[in-house]
Structure 1
Amino acid sequence: MLRVALLDPADGGVDTLPMATKAMARRIGRLQPDTACIRVKRGAAVGLAIVFLCALLSACGTEAARASGASGATAVSRGAVRTTVPSSPASPAFRARADAVQRAVRAAGVPAPPSGIFLYSSRTPGLAFDTTEQKLAWSAGQVVLAPGIQLEAAGDSHLDFADGSSLPVNVLGARTALAGQVGSTPSNCRGLAAAAYTLTVTSASLRTADVVTSRGPATVPAWSFTAKGLSRSIVVIAVSNEVLKPRFAPVPPPGLAELPLGLLGVDDLTRVEGNTLIFNVLYGGCETDLHAHVVEFDDMVVVGGSYGPRRADTCGLDVEHRSAASVTLATPLGDRAVISAATGVRLIPL
């Protein structure tokens, strides 16, 4: 059976594809607003077709229009989270997996929680282009400042968080912020040579953008650029990577076997509230009777899920889904690590 998964793009945009390509995408899996390509997890029968589609989505085509302005990111609500996957006591199979995970994690050393503030949004929120030529120029680094353009001084500003706290920061200069986000790899697409196109920036102003961070929603300084022939602004976060760090990418412990059939993985730890953990369970469209599980140890808790018999009908292309689940610990989490049963990595609350 072939399973595919929908991925988020690095630049936050969506390509407007030819109708035939869109139809193919819908046959493989629902084309969501923040979808850049489709990842083949198992099976190679249609691998070339999917790789071709992924290339079209990530490199070619016209990006769909999004609202212009500096507030392109969507804030995450901190209200009640609706959970759809019920929890139940760990099955023998899940408990055996949890035991294997905790041994592998301890052998490698229980990872310490990462320090700093991590940016979960794109550094170019709402980035979108009107034409393929504009996107090619951006991706190839063919972006220039118009002669005589006046740029504001950078200066100091602050990050404002939803809880009312703030953090003073130095603002990146407009040139520095822009140069850090444009591409550097010329590529040809549908017979168009990237080197033949240039995107000319005609003005820049310092505004703010709403983003999502490891400390929750935040309003941050951002440069808003206008470019010749582009109907919307290009917004670039004006805070360095040292302050707003790239999203944490944990490394799985060595020697951990793949997740056995019948068990489910987790991709995000949404919230920790006292004895309650809320996370997203990953599952396929053919998998039914879903349950979330947790096994507690002195220095960690292992979370994941399981599924029952697969559907009797022919699933064919199995699109990966994610749904929220909530589990209750016997005692508050404290400083224990939350570990994914699938990968053995430490999960950090969003």
Structure 2
Amino acid sequence: MRIGTSRSVGLLTGIALAVASLGAVSGCGSQKAVASSSDKLTDRARQVAKAWDGSTAADAWRADYHPMGEVVQLPRGGLHSPADRQAYMDQNFDLRGKLPVTWPENGQVTWAAGKPLTRPLIGADESYRNLAGGRPEGKPPLTVTGVKLGEMRVATTRGPATVPAWLFTLDGYATPLKQAAIMQAAIPQSPISPASDIPGLPLNRLIRITEDGRSVTVVAVHGVCDDEPEVDVFETTGSVVLWASVAERGDKGNCTKQGKLQQVTVKLGHSVSDRVLLDALTGQPVPYKGLAGLPPSGS
């Protein structure tokens, strides 16, 4: 087993949110308690790892389809212009072609090793709604001229997988925008309850695992009057347990009960591989969400 610490590496530009519970559990003046309770947090991480290692929940997590990378891929080479990139971030799409009206009920997820998995498909209409949630007035949209079922590669808890995907042909682009069409599996019930006596907030999300699996980037929440967050890690052969802590700044000035989201990169002793990436406070897998509001990498 291994315990380590990493420092934050940069703010998510433009992202700040009011957190209703921040003043009670982590905001200005109270994150000091988080920083001073490292022993309790480390003990909690050990308990979470012990509960998950060898559990039926861990077996279910590894066996099912849980994306750990982007489920949307842009056309090859990315989007052409700032206007197109803004349209994508704004979910500003214009459908000029017709959506398919029929599709298979299920599709297969296949890995390089192991048995394929059959999962329900997301329909073309729902997939398009997931892309095109907004229509800002007066701004040029991305025009969809055709939609068909194809496939794409997605990083998962079992390694890279090939999955069915809806391919959206965009006006002016030679290759399609792809969105995975396989429904994600439900998170298995955790074998351990959330912590109720430890101050702090759960990690907001996982946004990146390096190709070699030796480094993960997560998003932590901290108060506007606090120092930058640290994310500590406790590793076993079956689990990687993470938790965030911050120290209160001495020159806090006029403090408000607000929180900031901040990227923190954590270096691991060994590759994540098929280990379960867990949040010490919730006792649940850290959810993958990517960089919400920012374009994903190209296909």
TM-score range, shorter chain: 0.3 to 0.5
Higher relative contact order (CA 8 A, sep 6+): 2
Rg bigger for which structure? Answer: 1
Q: TM-score, normalised by structure 2?
A: 0.48
